[in-house]
Amino acid sequence: MYKSLIRGQSVITDSSQTLNTMCVIIIKQKKQMMSREIAKTSARINPHGLGIVWLDTFEITYHESKDYGLLLTDRPFIAHFRYATVGAVNRENMHPFQCGVQKDEWLMMNGTIKGMGNAQMSDSKALAISLGQIPRQLWKKELEQYDSRFVTVNKRTRSFQMYNRDAYTYRDGIWYSKSNVLQDNLIAVYGTLKKGYSNYYSYLTSSKHLGRGETYDKYPLLIEGLPYMVDQRGSGHHVEVDIFKVSDKAFKEIDALEGHPNWYKRKQIPIRMKDGRVINAWLYFNPKKVDSSTQMHKSYVQNYTGYQRPKVVDTCQQINFNSYYDVDLATDDDCCDTQSKECMICFQPLQYDDTINQYHCGGCDDWYTLAEVYNF
The string of pLDDT tens digits covering residues 282-303 is 999 999 989 888 899 999 998 7
Catalytic residue among 105, 214, 240, 258: 258
The string of pLDDT tens digits covering residues 22-73 is 799 999 998 888 988 889 889 988 999 999 999 999 999 999 999 999 999 9
Domains of the chain, by residue range, sit at 2-177, 185-285, 320-375
Report whether CATH 3.60.20 matches the domain 2-177: yes
Contact 180, 279 (CB under 8 A): yes
**In the annotation, is 105 catalytic?**
no
306 pLDDT higher than 70: no
The C-alpha R_g of the chain, in whole angstroms, comes to 27
Please provide the DSSP assignment of 155-167 as one string.
TTTTEEEEESGGG
Long-range contacts of 191-194 (CB under 8 A, 24+ apart): 191/226, 191/227, 191/228, 191/300, 191/302, 192/226, 192/227, 192/302, 192/355, 193/242, 193/254, 194/241, 194/242, 194/300, 194/302
Looking at the whole model, is its pTM more than 0.85? Answer: no
Q: Which CATH number among 3.40.190.100, 3.10.490.10, 1.20.120.1200, 3.40.50.720 corresponds to the domain 185-285?
A: 3.10.490.10
